[in-house]
Amino acid sequence: MDLILDMVGGDYIARNVRSLAIAGRLVMIAFLNGPKAELNFAQIMVKRLTLTGSTLRPQSVQAKAEIAEQLRIKVWPLIASRRISPVMDSTFPLEQAVDAHRRIESSDHIGKIVLTLD
């Protein structure tokens, strides 16, 4: 991967570092699994990786508005044209929400797990 936006943190951080390509970037944007991880910094150095983080919470209203405008101009058109899309793991009908939750709790999935409505 060239770029990973990580909302999970915790044990995903080391996994993400291993998944990054040469000169890849890991951007931490939340820590659902916690902010701590054990990392092999040799991987970071050898692959010339960039690790950074950001959060919107302390940003000013003006800064958030500017970010939203740049998303509208630069990102949403890419999504609308399907040039970029989220990585999907699996979908489940709402009636199988328990199975979907089991899938979320497994450690062998990558991508979004989605509940669908009829």
Domain ranges across the chain: 1-54, 57-85, 86-118
**Residue 6: per-residue pLDDT:** 94
pTM of this prediction exceeds 0.85: no
Q: Residue 36 contacts by C-beta under 8 Å, 6 or more apart in sequence?
A: 10
**Residue 108: per-residue pLDDT:** 81
**Residue 109: per-residue pLDDT:** 83
- Quote the longest CA-to-CA distance of the chain: 49
Residue type, 106: S
Residues of the chain where predicted confidence (pLDDT) is lower than 50: none
**Residue 39: per-residue pLDDT:** 93
Residue type, 25: R
CATH for the 1-54 domain, from 3.40.50.720, 3.20.20.70, 3.60.15.10, 1.10.260.30: 3.40.50.720
How large is the C-alpha radius of gyration of the chain?
Answer: 17
> Mean pLDDT score of the chain, rounded to an integer?
93
**Residue 15: per-residue pLDDT:** 93
